[in-house]
Amino acid sequence: MSDRPGAIEPFVPPAWESSGSRSALRITNVKTILTAPDGIRLVVVKVETNEPEIYGVGCASFTQRPLGVAAAIEQYLKPNLIGRDPNNIEDIFQVNNLSGYWRSGPVLNNALSGIDMALWDIKGKLAGMPVYQLLGGKVRKAAPVYSHASGRNFQAVEEEVLRLKEQGFRFVRCQVEVPGNATYGVDDKSTDDYPTYLRARQGIWNFSSYCRVVPRLFDYLRSRVGEELELLHDIHERLPPILAIGLARELEPFHLFFLEDPFAPEDNGYFPMLRQQTATPIAMGELFVNQAEYVPLIHNRLIDFIRCHISAIGGITPARKLASYCEFFGVRTAWHGPGDVSPIGHAVNLQLDLSSPNFGIQECFHFGDAAKAVFPGTPEIRDGYLWSNEQPGLGIDIDETLAEKFPLPEHPLNGAFPEVRQTDGTVIRW
């Protein structure tokens, strides 16, 4: 009791024991695990409790700044977590988010996410249910996914598309090299040989050449693969906004399932203009980190698919609110799912995909054998769908001993992306 008359007692969220059914569960340790089984830098968190079999795992992967995320977790979140009741997910999220005063940003949000996902994993294990059950249960058998097709020329892309179609994929993202340009989406981003990687990324980026090639690619593909297959494309914020608007219009006859990231988050103000010009469906948002960036796009009905990188917005706690908010405005989900979202992050995407009525599509990544061994329970891709293994929690684990065998590759910039420049030397967005 406080001595001050009229002082308000601090609220302490009820521990599990006071709600009646289980001995006091407490967080006893938080581990930040850095690993790169497929050559891609991943950050993963494990939250342990005083009951050894009750622990959770979460994804905190920000592949360009992994060490920054690790420091945020170890130096700032961990000390504030030991001794807390892991049941109080929302309270822990709020406490961690507010304790920095300055909020948001990919480093801090990824750190929050690692903890948050692990707590949802724990809650699912305590309930004996997959997390999608805690979110309201399944509304579909599995999550339809899109896979990537890319190549040096149209024919190479077509071959990839047909190979994926053969495997049962009905949604394919298509990217083609713009000759002589450092093109996004067509080189191998997972190589750990930095000089090779740098060479592949170097070169000019000519906006007009790209804008000429892409409509021709989709014209070619539609004439070869027909109308039934759903085709997607990612501009990756690589154009001045007015050129992106022109491209979206030119692509309209080819009926894309969606056109992704036409603008950088900084250019959100162009969306109303884009909307007035074309009915090409728009997906946006893997770079968003702050609700002030995405809420106006949703309530003004300026995008069709929300594509946030769930760990970059803070984890399941904010993502489930965002998914529900989008539902009210007819915006569908298409959570970011490349190789720099860890298999744990993919398992999280799947929990929301299965339980959200306004699910649109899930991006998938074909993890290699090493990643699948480090992360037992990596969701299976089969017949063009991502399937749940129906295990309690997130249904995925980390083999810590094996993870240690795949340390982050040596890199002069610790994972930062190399520069892409225009012919005159001006550095541009990646």
Residues that bind ligand CS2 (CB under 6 A): 63, 234, 236, 286, 338, 340, 363
Q: How far is the CB of 175 from Mg ion (least distance, A)?
A: 10
d(CA 206, CA 7): 65
> What's the closest the beta carbon of residue 117 comes to ligand CS2, in angstroms?
18
Q: Select from 341, 61, 337, 39 the least CA-distant residue to 190.
A: 39
- Which residue in the list 55, 132, 197, 236 is annotated as catalytic? 236
d(CA 160, CA 394): 32
Q: Which stretch binds Mg ion (CB under 5 A): 60-68, 78-86, 158-166, 281-289?
A: 281-289
Instruction: Tell me the two tokens of residue 306.
Output: 């929300």
Task: Work out which of 160, 234, 293, 397 binds Mg ion, going by CB under 5 A.
Answer: 234
β partners of residue 258? 232
Using a 10 angstrom Cβ sphere, with 0-12 exposed, 13-18 middle and 19 or more buried, the burial of residue 259 is: buried
* Joined tokens for residue 88: 């109080």
Type and span of the H or E element at 118: helix 106-127
Instruction: Provide, rounded to whole angstroms, the least separation between the CB of residue 219 and ligand CS2.
Output: 23
User: What does DSSP assign to residue 180?
Assistant: T
Amino acid at site 179 = P
Task: Give least dist CB 235 to ligand CS2, A.
Answer: 10
Beta bridge pairs of residue 199: none
What residues have CB less than 8 Å from 268, skipping those under 6 apart? 293, 296, 297
Q: What is the DSSP letter of 258?
A: E
Q: Give the separation between CA 242 and CA 231, rounded to whole angstroms.
A: 23
Measured from the CB of residue 144, what is the shortest distance to ligand CS2 in angstroms? 16
Residue 121 binding target from Mg ion, ligand CS2, none, CB below 5 to 8 Å by type: none
Of the pair 86, 144, the CB lying nearest ligand CS2 is at 144
113 binds, among Mg ion, ligand CS2, none (CB under 5 to 8 A by kind): none
Instruction: Say whether 294 is catalytic.
Output: no
For residue 250, the partner it binds in Mg ion, ligand CS2, none, with Cβ less than 5 to 8 A by kind, is none
Closer Cβ to Mg ion, 158 or 234, answer by number: 234
Instruction: Give the one entry of Mg ion, ligand CS2, none that residue 397 binds, where binding means its C-beta sits below a cut-off of 5 to 8 angstroms depending on kind.
Output: none
What are the backbone angles phi and psi of residue 314, rounded to the nearest 5°?
120, -5
- H or E element in which residue 38 lies: none
**Distance from C-alpha of 221 to C-alpha of 201, rounded to nearest angstrom:** 26
Q: Which stretch binds Mg ion (CB under 5 A): 19-27, 100-108, 206-214, 228-236?
A: 228-236
* Residue among 188 and 404 whose Cβ is closer to Mg ion: 188
Q: How far apart are CA 312 and CA 111, in angstroms?
A: 9
Residue of 305, 195, 197, 196 lying closest to 258 (CA atoms): 305
Q: Restricting to residues 362-421, name those near Mg ion by CB under 5 A.
A: none
Residue nearest to ligand CS2 (CB): 338
Asked if residue 121 binds Mg ion (CB under 5 A), the reply is no
Q: Tell the smallest beta-carbon distance from residue 91 to ligand CS2 (Å).
A: 31
Specify the residue, 33 or 235, whose C-beta has the smaller distance to Mg ion. Answer: 235
Contact 214, 233 (CB under 8 A): yes
Report the residue number, 275 or 429, with the smaller CB distance to Mg ion. 429
Of 285 and 393, nearer to Mg ion (C-beta) is 285
- Partner whose binding site includes residue 304, from ligand CS2, Mg ion, none (CB under 5 to 8 Å by kind): none
Catalytic residue among 132, 184, 197, 294: 184
Distance separating the N- and C-terminal Cα atoms of the chain: 56
- Annotated catalytic residue 336: no
Q: Report the partner that residue 353 touches, choosing among Mg ion, ligand CS2, none (CB closer than 5 to 8 A by kind).
A: none
- By beta-carbon proximity to ligand CS2, the closer residue of 63 and 388 is 63
What's the closest the beta carbon of residue 340 comes to ligand CS2, in angstroms? 5
Q: Which two tokens stand for residue 33?
A: 């695990």
> Which residue, among 308, 298, 260, 304, has the nearest Cα to 279 in the 3D structure?
304
Rounded Cα distance between 218 and 344, Å, is: 34
What are the residue numbers of the active site?
A: 184, 236
Q: Which residues bind Mg ion (CB under 5 A)?
A: 234, 286
